[in-house]
Structure 1
Amino acid sequence: MAIFEGAGVALVTPFKENGEVNYEKLEELVEFQIAGGTDSIIACGTTGEASTMTHEEHLEVVRFVCEVTKKRVPVIAGTGSNCTDTAVYLSKEAERHGAEGLLLVSPYYNKATQNGLKAHFKAVADQVKIPILLYNIPGRTGINIAPETIADLCRSVSNIVGVKEASGNFTAIADLMNFSDGCADVYSGNDDQIVPLLSLGGKGVISVLSNIAPAQTHEICESYFKGDVKRSASLQIAAIPLINALFCEVNPIPVKAALNLMGMNAGPMRLPLTEMEPQNQERLKKAMKEYGIL
C-alpha cells in the first residue's frame, strides 16, 4: 500500500526575523494544510530549507510536525544527505520521532555511480523499518537516478517503495513504470506535471503549490482518481500561471513570499537564499489574484 495517494505538501519551514524556527507559525501551517485536504505532509525537504538547518533543528521540526499532525495524515521526513552516515542518522531519528515515511534525495555533489546510489539507499533502508521514497531531482543534485536503478531498488528492498520524480523526463518516467511493473509508487515532483504523471499510473504529487492552495491541489488528484480526467486537466491548466510564478525564482523563495502575501507569516529565507526580487513579487501577486487566493 502506498504511503499516500493524492497531494502531499512539501511544507515550508517558517522562520522568525532572527532566523529561528517559528513553531507557532509551523503549527498554523500544518493545520491549514489538514483543513485544506492535504493527503500527506513532507517535512524538511527542499522547500523546508532543510539544507540550512542544523541536525538538531531538522529533527525537532520533524518531531514537532508529527506531534501536531497526530497521525491525521502521514508525515514523511526528508532525511537525505550526500553523506550516507548522516542520512542513516537522520532517518533513524526521524523514525524514532514518529515519521511514517522518509524522502531520500540522491547524494548531491559526490555524483555517485548507479551502483553507488544503490549501496547508499540500501544502507539507509537497512537501518529503518518505515517506507522510503527516493527523490530524483538531477537539476539540484547533479546526478540522475536511472529508471532501472529505481525499479531494482523497489523490487529488491522491501521498504523502498517509490520515488518523487522531479526530472521532468517523461520518457524516463514511462520507462520506470515499465521496468517496475507496479512495484514503484511514483509521485510528481513538479506541480505543472501532475496530471501527465497520473496518466502514467502515478500516485500523486509532492507539491510546492499545495503550501498556498491545498484544496485545489488535492482536487486535481481527487478528480483524476474519481475518473473525471477532464476536470482534473482543467484544474491543472488553470494553475499553470501561478505555478510558473512560484518557480520564477528558485524554490522556496516565491512560495514563502506567497505565504507572506497571504498574511501567513512564513518569515524570511535563510542565506544563501534571499528575498524575492520586486518585479517577480509583482508577477506572483498578480498570479495569486487571478487564481483567486489573494
Structure 2
Amino acid sequence: MSKFLGTGVALVTPFREDLSVDVDALINIVNHAINGGVEYLVVLGTTAESATLTKEEKELVKHTIVKANSGRVPLVVGVGGNNTAEVVNELQTSDLSAFDAILSVSPYYNKPTQEGIYQHFKAIAEVSPLPIILYNVPGRTGSNVLPKTIIRLATDFKNIIGVKEAAGDIVQAMRLIKDKPKDFLVISGDDMITLPMILAGGAGVISVIGQGLPKEFSLMVRYALRGNLDDANNIHFQLMDIIDYIFEEGNPAGIKAVFENLGLSTGKVRLPLMEATAALKQKINSFPILATNKING
C-alpha cells in the first residue's frame, strides 16, 4: 500500500469561540496540509477530539474533509472502540466509500489480554470493507499490543496492512520492523521518533506536528525514506523543540495553538481538555520556524 508511505497527518477538529465545529477553518487546515506536501490525511483520530464529538458532528467533519480534499490525497478514517460488537456494526452500516483505509485503535479502558486484542481485530478484519491500519497507543489505551500480536494479525489477515505504532519505544518498534511480513507498514505514531523508526525500516508517520508544519515535516520524512540522513537530521533537530511544545500540555491543545499562530483556527478545545496556557503559546509563537515560516532543508 504505497499510498500510505510518507507523511500522514491526524487532523484536528477546529472549533469556533462557542465550541461549535468551524467548517471553514477545517477546510483551510486541509488545504494547508495538502499544499504543504503531506501524502495522506487521517480523519477522526484522537487528535480530532473524536471522544467529544456527537455523531452528527462526526458526519459533518467527514463530509467537510472529503469535499475539501476532492480526491487529491488518500483518506484514512478512524473506526475503533472498546466495544467490539459496536465497532463491527459501525463498519457494516457506515458508508466508507470516500475513504481508502480505516485506522482502528486497540480497545481502551477494558485492558484486554493479547488474545482479547487479537480476537477484537479478527472480528473487525472479517467485516471491514477497507484495509485496516492498527493503532497501538498504550499511553491512552492502558494496554500495549505486543509485536507478536501485531505480526500474528498481519499474517492471518491480508486486509490488515499496517500499524500506527505509538508506544514511544524504539526497541519495540525495531523488533516489529524486524519480524513483520514484507509489505506490512510500520508507521510511526510518535513525531519525535519518526526519523529513527524510518531509518530502521519504518514506512513513515501519522503525525500531529505535520499538519501545522507540513512542508518541513514531510520534507524530513522524504529525506529519511531516501536515506538522506544529513538533511533529515538537520530538519529533525530544528523541529525537536516545537514537537516537545505541542505535547507539553496535551494533544491537541498544542497543535491548535500552532494553528492559532498561523491564523488558521482558534486554539479552542473541548472539556475535559484545556486550551494551551499563555506561557505555552508564547513559547510556540517564539519558535523560529513559525516566526519566519522558513526552514533550511
Cα deviation, residue 166, structure 1: 0.9
The residue aligned with 2:79 is: 79
The residue aligned with 2:263 is: 263
Matching of residue 58 in structure 1 with residue 40 in structure 2: no
Distance 2:127 2:54 in 1: 22
Distance 1:180 1:238 in 2: 32
AA paired with 1:70?
Answer: S
Q: What TM-score, normalized by structure 1, do the two folds share?
A: 0.94
In the TM superposition, 1:1-294 aligns within 5 A as 1-92=1-92, 96-287=96-287, 292-293=292-293
SS at match of 2:286: helix
For structure 1, the 5+ residue unaligned runs are: none
Mean Cα deviation higher: 228-237 or 85-94: 85-94
Cα deviation, residue 78, structure 1: 1.1
Tell me, yes or no, if the aligned pair for 2:165 and 2:189 is still in contact at 8 Å: yes
- Taking a change above 3 Å as real, the CA distance of residues 178 and 204 of structure 1, as seen in their structure-2 partners, is same
Tell me, yes or no, if the aligned pair for 1:106 and 1:135 is still in contact at 8 Å: yes
AA paired with 2:137?
Answer: I
Cα deviation, residue 29, structure 1: 1.0
The Cα offsets for residues 97-145 of structure 1, whole Å up to 9 and x where unpaired, read as 5111111111110001111111111211221221111111101110100
Q: Structure 1 stretches (4+) deviating beyond 4 angstroms?
A: 92-95, 288-291
AA paired with 2:87?
Answer: A
* Number of aligned residue pairs: 294
- Taking a change above 3 Å as real, the CA distance of residues 14 and 113 of structure 1, as seen in their structure-2 partners, is same
AA paired with 1:180?
Answer: K
Distance 2:61 2:93 in 1: 12
The Cα offsets for residues 71-119 of structure 1, whole Å up to 9 and x where unpaired, read as 2111101111111133224444565351111111111100011111111
Distance 1:217 1:289 in 2: 12
AA paired with 1:252?
Answer: P
Tell me, yes or no, if the aligned pair for 2:155 and 2:181 is still in contact at 8 Å: no
Distance 1:78 1:242 in 2: 26
Distance 2:45 2:193 in 1: 19
The Cα offsets for residues 147-187 of structure 1, whole Å up to 9 and x where unpaired, read as 00111111111111111111111221121122214242011
Distance 2:232 2:128 in 1: 36
Distance 2:94 2:231 in 1: 37
Tell me, yes or no, if the aligned pair for 1:38 and 1:214 is still in contact at 8 Å: yes
Tell me, yes or no, if the aligned pair for 1:106 and 1:134 is still in contact at 8 Å: yes
Q: What TM-score, normalized by structure 2, do the two folds share?
A: 0.93
- Taking a change above 3 Å as real, the CA distance of residues 96 and 289 of structure 1, as seen in their structure-2 partners, is closer
Distance 1:65 1:163 in 2: 23
What is the aligned-residue RMSD (CA, Å)? Answer: 1.8
Tell me, yes or no, if the aligned pair for 1:9 and 1:40 is still in contact at 8 Å: yes
SS at match of 2:134: strand
Distance 1:183 1:38 in 2: 21
Cα deviation, residue 55, structure 1: 2.5
- Taking a change above 3 Å as real, the CA distance of residues 91 and 33 of structure 1, as seen in their structure-2 partners, is farther
AA paired with 2:31?
Answer: E
Mean Cα deviation higher: 278-287 or 208-217: 278-287
Cα deviation, residue 17, structure 1: 2.1
Cα deviation, residue 3, structure 1: 4.1
- Taking a change above 3 Å as real, the CA distance of residues 66 and 88 of structure 1, as seen in their structure-2 partners, is farther
Distance 1:56 1:101 in 2: 21
Tell me, yes or no, if the aligned pair for 2:253 and 2:267 is still in contact at 8 Å: no
Percent sequence identity is 35
